[in-house]
Structure 1
Amino acid sequence: MTFSESLRKENDAIFKEIFNHPFVDGIGKGKVPKEALKHYIKADFEYLNAFMHIYGIAVSKSSNRDDISLFHDQIGFVLNSETHPHHNFCEQAGVVYEDMQGYPLPPTADHYIKHMMYHAQIGDLGEILCALLPCPWTYLEIGKVLMEKYKPNDDHPFYPWITFYAEAEVRGLTGKLCDRLDKLAEEASGRQLIRMKEAFRKSCQLELAFWEMAYTCEEWPVKEGVIQQ
């Protein structure tokens, strides 16, 4: 069993909770509250901006061109392709994508970004990959699960979203990240492997929490005011 396979097995319970979450299952059923869709888009737009920055940190810690190319391709995918599922959500919520951008992060999304940034700043490439990987991996499996469970056709309101994450491009990019992680794990010390597993587990937990955050339209306990200069 490879290191990435062991990570997937150890976190199977979290993956299953994600698949069964009412927001995720609602995508398959074609019924998600519009406010939840809008809350998701606002948070995910800023989350993906941070995600690209963290890939940039991975580039800065790369010692060879193969790794630089790997992370460069991931940035390109987020920047140029992953806007498509956002547009699908916007269409179903009846909003303009540009109007959903520039909002403050809700607590869970804020914590998730800072968790990844922590590992990016102090960790090696293996640790960074473990913090990043649950995002594309869970979405890939969500797409596959929803395709198998609901068998949507092109009349389904979330057909573009589901098929985007179930398609070969997402699978290929995720597979490349897993392959690189497995090679890094072979050279890692016992302590490094523990840190990598901890980073992966917490990111899985925060993926689940992100769906809950969007579904409940989570906000800060006290409405934020303007920070004085």
Structure 2
Amino acid sequence: MSFTNQLRKENDHIFQLIFDHPFVDGIGKGDVSKEAIAHYIKADFEYLNAFMQIYGIGLSKSSKREDIAYFFQRIQFILNDEVHPHHTFCHYIGVNYEDLQGYPLPPTADHYIKHMMYHAQTGTMGETLGALLPCPWTYLEIGQVLMERYQPTEENPFYEWIRFYGDPSVEASTMEMRNRLDALAASASTEEKDKIREAFQKSCELELAFWEMSYTCEEWPSKGLVKKL
């Protein structure tokens, strides 16, 4: 069994919780509150900005042109392609994409970004990929699961979102990241593989927490306490 297959098996329970989360399941049903959608986009816009910066760290640590090209292509994908799912959500709630940009991060998103930054700045390339991989991998499987579970048509307002993440091109790019991590793990020490495992597992947990954060419109505790006073 490959290293990334082991990671997937070890964290299957978290993947299943993500698939069954009411926000994710609501996408399949075509029914998610507009407040939750807006909260998600505000956080995810900043999250993806950070994701590109972490790819940039990976690029800066690369000595081979093929590795530099890989990280450059991943940045290009977020800049040029991964805005489309956001536009699908914006169309549903009737808000311009630009109006949902530049907001401060909720606690969970803030923690998630700093978790990935920590591994990228202080860890190996394997740790960096281990922290990054759950994002594209869970989204790929969300798209696949929702396509199979609900067989959505264009009448579902999130049809394009589901189709985007369930597309074979996303599967291919996710597999490329997996292959890179498998190659690094093949020569990694037991200690390094344990660190990769930890980075991957925490990112899986934070992917689940990100959906919950969006669904509950999570705020910093002081804001909630002020509203009660």
What's the offset of the Cα at 1:223? 3.0
Which residue matches 2:134? Answer: 134
> 2: distance between equivalents of 1:69 and 1:202?
28
Which residue matches 1:144? Answer: 144
Amino acid of the structure 2 residue aligned with 1:35: E
What's the offset of the Cα at 1:191? 0.5
CA contact (8 A) 1:61 1:124 kept: no
Amino acid of the structure 1 residue aligned with 2:113: I
**Matched residues, number:** 224
> 1: distance between equivalents of 2:5 and 2:77?
24
Cα-to-partner distance string for 1:70-121 (whole Å, 9 max, x where unaligned):
1111111111000000000011111110000000000000000000000000
Query: Is there any run of 5+ residues in structure 2 with no aligned partner, and where?
Result: 225-229
Which residue matches 1:172? Answer: 172
> 2: distance between equivalents of 1:187 and 1:60?
21
Aligned-partner SS, 1:26: helix
Amino acid of the structure 2 residue aligned with 1:186: A
> 1: distance between equivalents of 2:221 and 2:9?
36
> 2: distance between equivalents of 1:155 and 1:21?
22
Aligned-partner SS, 2:217: coil
CA contact (8 A) 1:116 1:132 kept: yes
Pair 1:54 & 2:57 matched = no
What's the offset of the Cα at 1:63? 2.1
> 1: distance between equivalents of 2:63 and 2:10?
30
Cα-to-partner distance string for 1:1-53 (whole Å, 9 max, x where unaligned):
00010000000000000000000000000000000000000000000000000
Runs of 4+ in structure 1 deviating by more than 6 angstroms, as ranges, are none
> 2: distance between equivalents of 1:38 and 1:210?
13
Superposed, 1:178-197 pairs within 5 Å as 178-197=178-197
Cα-to-partner distance string for 1:180-229 (whole Å, 9 max, x where unaligned):
000000010110000000000000000000000000000001139xxxxx
Pair 1:18 & 2:18 matched = yes
Superposed, 1:101-116 pairs within 5 Å as 101-116=101-116
Alpha-carbon RMSD across the aligned residues, in angstroms, is 0.9
Query: Is there any run of 5+ residues in structure 1 with no aligned partner, and where?
Result: 225-229
Tell me the TM-score normalised to structure 1 length: 0.97
What's the offset of the Cα at 1:154? 1.5
Which residue matches 1:39? Answer: 39
> 2: distance between equivalents of 1:223 and 1:148?
40
What's the offset of the Cα at 1:62? 1.2
Amino acid of the structure 2 residue aligned with 1:177: M
Aligned-partner SS, 1:222: helix
CA contact (8 A) 1:21 1:211 kept: yes
Which residue matches 2:227? Answer: none
Cα-to-partner distance string for 1:130-181 (whole Å, 9 max, x where unaligned):
0000000000000000000000111211001000000022111101000000
Identical columns (%): 67
Tell me the TM-score normalised to structure 2 length: 0.97
